Amino acid sequence: MYKNYSEFIKEFDKVLELLFSSQKKYIKCKKGCSGCCSKGEYPFSQAEFAYLTYGYINLPDEIKKIVQNNVKNIIKEKAENKNERFEYTCPFLINNECCVYEYRGIVCRTFGVCYYDDKEGYVRLPDCVFDGLNYSEFFDKETNILNIKDVPMVNLRIDRVLDSELAKKYNISCGEIRPLIDWIAEK
């Protein structure tokens, strides 16, 4: 499974590289920008979580301890959460950098770019548009209209990506999708 998923991710990253390149005039992402990792649910499939686990296993012990402490704090916060939706900082975010970057999930890889969600029937924008970052110069907050003509007509939802022809090529299946912290808490 690891080898197939690893090869799938290499090819998927090439697709994303082209997509981000075609959208570069709208994107302000740069190293150290971690807003997308600071508040979210981070949906992961079981295959993605297994791949992420490989990255975690290879971390230095001192980094693992930081991640473990982050997880412990998130689980405590989640237990105290009274809202239906629980958003948190990714436990792998350390000093504004992902400590398992090579092994990050699809949602992490696609953060920052807009795309057309054919299942829901609208353009999904990165949350940072509201912080004056990606696409913000072309987005009218009052009307919720994105004023660009070149919205990528590819759906980057995890379920769509993992049910794509590319995923089938590598025998990858979507499986259950849950928030990252739920996969971690189960271990």
Q: Is residue 61 part of a domain?
A: yes
Report which of 137, 135, 105 is spatially closest to residue 20, judged by C-alpha positions. 135
pTM to 2 decimals?
0.91
Report the half-sphere exposure of 110 (CA within 13 A, side-chain side). 23
Contacting residues for 47 by C-beta, under 8 A, at least 6 apart: 1, 5, 162, 172, 173, 174, 175
Q: Is residue 132 part of a domain?
A: no
pLDDT tens per residue across span 4-54: 999 999 999 999 999 999 999 999 987 778 888 999 999 999 999 999 999
Q: Is residue 17 part of a domain?
A: yes
pLDDT tens per residue across span 54-107: 999 999 999 999 999 999 999 999 999 887 889 999 999 999 999 999 999 999
Position 171 scores a pLDDT of 93
Domain that holds residue 178: 2-111+157-186
Q: Is residue 28 part of a domain?
A: yes
Give the pair of three-digit tokens for residue 84: 């239906």
Q: Is residue 52 part of a domain?
A: yes
Phi, psi of 11 (to 5 degrees): -70, -40
Position 186 scores a pLDDT of 81
Whether the Cβ atoms of residue 139 and residue 147 lie closer than 8 Å to each other:
yes
Position 187 scores a pLDDT of 62
Q: Is residue 145 part of a domain?
A: no
Q: Is residue 178 part of a domain?
A: yes
Position 22 scores a pLDDT of 93
How far apart (Å, rounded) are the C-alpha atoms in residues 162 and 92? 23
Least confident stretch, 9-13, 51-55, 108-112, 121-125:
121-125
When divided into structural domains, the chain yields a total of: 1
Position 65 scores a pLDDT of 98
Residue 183 clears pLDDT 70, i.e. is over it: yes
Residue 181 clears pLDDT 90, i.e. is over it: yes
